[in-house]
Amino acid sequence: MANTRFSPEDLERIKAAVAGAEGQTSGEIVPYYVESSDEYEESVWRGGVLASTTALLVFYALRTFTPIWLPFDLTETLFIILLAAGLGSALTYWLPPLRRLLAGRALLNRRTAARALEAFLSEEVFQTRDRTGILIFLSMFEHRVHIIGDSGINARVKPGEWEDIVEIIISGIKSGRPGEGLVLAIERCGDLLNRKEVERRQDDENELADGMRMGQ
């Protein structure tokens, strides 16, 4: 799935942008992409419950408040309600906007934040001499981006100062050009680190590979 989001040219431009940004400072930038941070089974169940409840209410309203005669016995009515539940779950699973809606903003934020932290640890972004690693984490399904800096970065860059960079990436995702958005964001990240005097040492080495990481 990741290859459908980023062309080979995108990946080369991202790698070059990381190298260029790191050439200005001692920051080590790690771009990391996942298609989704979670399956959101809760959303699928909620979709089923919502559809079955709607069907039940429709039956009740028709029988109680209208003269319409429904030619269904109890067993057939229950079957229709269960069928509605199955269809609601299936639609929720196959329609990403509906699955996001039923997941809710809070759950999307929690799951992507947890997945970003997992990526920070699994990619060992903390393994730099001056603790200047930076993870730029993109989760496509949720339209969420998290930037996590190691202690050497956080000592100079406040959390709110990443917001403009995050918005650049999100805009790229929503417009269908995530590669362009990420390249521009990485360039802006290098500019920010330069302004914050995250200075490059004379003996600086490339401690973390420049290319895009693709998670499951």
Q: Is the dihedral of CA 24, 26, 29, 30 positive or negative?
A: positive
Question: CB within 8 A of 61, min separation 6: which ones?
Answer: none
Range of the domain at 165: 2-38+108-214
Alpha helices, DSSP H only, in 66-214?
74-94, 96-103, 105-122, 151-154, 163-174, 178-195
Are 19 and 121 within one domain? Answer: yes
Among 61, 77, 103, give the residue marking a domain's end.
Answer: 103
**pLDDT the model gives residue 3:** 60
Among 103, 122, 152, give the residue marking a domain's end.
Answer: 103
Question: CB within 8 A of 67, min separation 6: which ones?
Answer: none
Where residue 71 falls among pLDDT bands split at 50, 70, 90? confident
Are 82 and 140 within one domain? Answer: no
Are 87 and 184 within one domain? Answer: no
Question: Above 60 in pLDDT, residue 1?
Answer: no
Mean pLDDT of the chain: 92
Distance CA 51, CA 88 (A): 5
Are 175 and 74 within one domain? Answer: no
Buried b or exposed e, range 11-48, using 16+ CB within 10 angstroms:
bebbbebbeebbebbbbbbbbbbbebbbebeebbebbb
Are 64 and 158 within one domain? Answer: no
| Residue range 104-128, pLDDT digits in tens | 999 999 999 999 999 999 999 999 9
What pTM does this model have? 0.87
Are 29 and 49 within one domain? Answer: no
Are 133 and 192 within one domain? Answer: yes
CA 117 to chain centre: 12
**pLDDT the model gives residue 127:** 92
| Residue range 8-20, pLDDT digits in tens | 999 999 999 999 9
Written as six digits, the tokens of 58 are: 């429709």
Give the CATH number, domain containing residue 34: 3.10.310.50
**Helix H or strand E encompassing 134:** strand 133-139
Distance CA 125, CA 199 (A): 18
Neighbours of 103 (CB within 10 A): 23
Output 67 or 168, whichever has higher pLDDT.
168
Are 112 and 210 within one domain? Answer: yes
CA atoms within 13 A on the CB side of 216: 1
Which single residue is written with the structure tokens 């995530």? 178
Are 121 and 83 within one domain? Answer: no
Among 86, 103, 120, give the residue marking a domain's end.
Answer: 103
Are 49 and 155 within one domain? Answer: no
Are 69 and 162 within one domain? Answer: no
- Give the total number of structural domains in the chain: 2
